[in-house]
């Protein structure tokens, strides 16, 4: 169904019928419920803390022996928060947290080349997001710290991290 056809259909419905359909969507689809729960009671800080705990658990697991170290876990949360409309400074904080935890993880482990490539992607996405939302003054110190870590520890793709830093300037 196209957007135009949906608009026409919704315009023809009576208020009561429209309310019934929304209630049906709310009860059937968890994503609709989550959206309305967020709109009417946004507990953004709590959601970000839960996401940070999950990201941390990827690199430093509490219940299993081996870390999975998947960047995709953080990316899912970031994408979900963007869809919901979470405050940009909280999303930027989560992006930086992901990089900081990954760097801590890499200190005492031999990580594959793909790890560095994915962290470069995360760094570039974070730099673009912070630049677009004008959040540099709030996060400049943490960004420089992350960048310096990549240089001091001789991470692969150092030039890519430098270019990512240039995005902010």
Over the stretch 93-138, which tens digit does the pLDDT of each residue have? 999 999 999 999 998 888 899 999 999 999 999 999 999 999 999 9
Do 36 and 48 have their domain in common? no
Do 36 and 47 have their domain in common? no
Do 54 and 96 have their domain in common? yes
Model confidence at 27, pLDDT cuts 50, 70, 90, reads very high
Do 155 and 92 have their domain in common? yes
How far apart are alpha carbons 47 and 55 in whole angstroms?
12
Do 122 and 57 have their domain in common? yes
Is the pLDDT reported for residue 35 higher than 90?
A: no
Do 77 and 148 have their domain in common? yes
Do 71 and 111 have their domain in common? yes
Rg (CA), the chain: 20
* Residue 29, domain extent: 1-41
Three-state helix/strand/coil letters over the chain: CCHHHHHHHHHHCCHHHHHHHHHHHHHHCHHHHHHHHHHHCCCHHHHHHHHHHHHHHHHCCCCCCCCCCCHHHHHHHHHHHHHHCCCHHHHHHHHHHHHHHHHHHHHCCCCCHHHHHHHHHHHHHHHHHHHHCCCHHHHHHHHHHHHHHHHHCCCCCHHHHHHHHHHHC
Do 79 and 130 have their domain in common? yes
Chain segment 47-89, per-residue pLDDT in tens? 999 999 999 999 999 888 888 888 899 999 999 999 988 999 9
Do 74 and 107 have their domain in common? yes
Task: Please tell me the total count of domains within the chain.
Answer: 2
Do 81 and 151 have their domain in common? yes
Do 65 and 132 have their domain in common? yes
Do 75 and 97 have their domain in common? yes
pLDDT in the model for residue 75: 93
pLDDT in the model for residue 135: 93
């Amino acid at each position: 169904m196209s957007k135009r056809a949906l608009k026409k259909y919704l315009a023809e419905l009576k208020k009561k019928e429209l309310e019934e359909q929304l209630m049906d969507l709310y009860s059937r689809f968890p994503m609709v419920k989550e959206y309305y729960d967020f709109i009417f009671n946004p507990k953004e800080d709590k959601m970000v803390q839960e996401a940070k705990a999950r990201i941390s658990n990827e690199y430093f697991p509490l219940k299993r022996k081996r870390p999975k170290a998947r960047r995709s876990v953080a990316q899912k949360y970031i994408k979900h928060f963007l869809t919901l409309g979470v405050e940009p400074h909280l999303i930027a904080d989560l992006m930086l947290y992901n990089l900081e935890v990954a760097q801590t993880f890499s200190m005492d482990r031999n990580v594959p080349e793909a790890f560095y490539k994915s962290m470069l992607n995360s760094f570039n996405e974070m730099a673009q997001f912070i630049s677009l939302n004008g959040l540099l003054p709030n996060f400049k110190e943490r960004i420089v710290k992350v960048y310096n870590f990549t240089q001091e520890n001789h991470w692969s793709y150092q030039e890519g991290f430098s270019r990512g830093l240039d995005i902010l300037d």
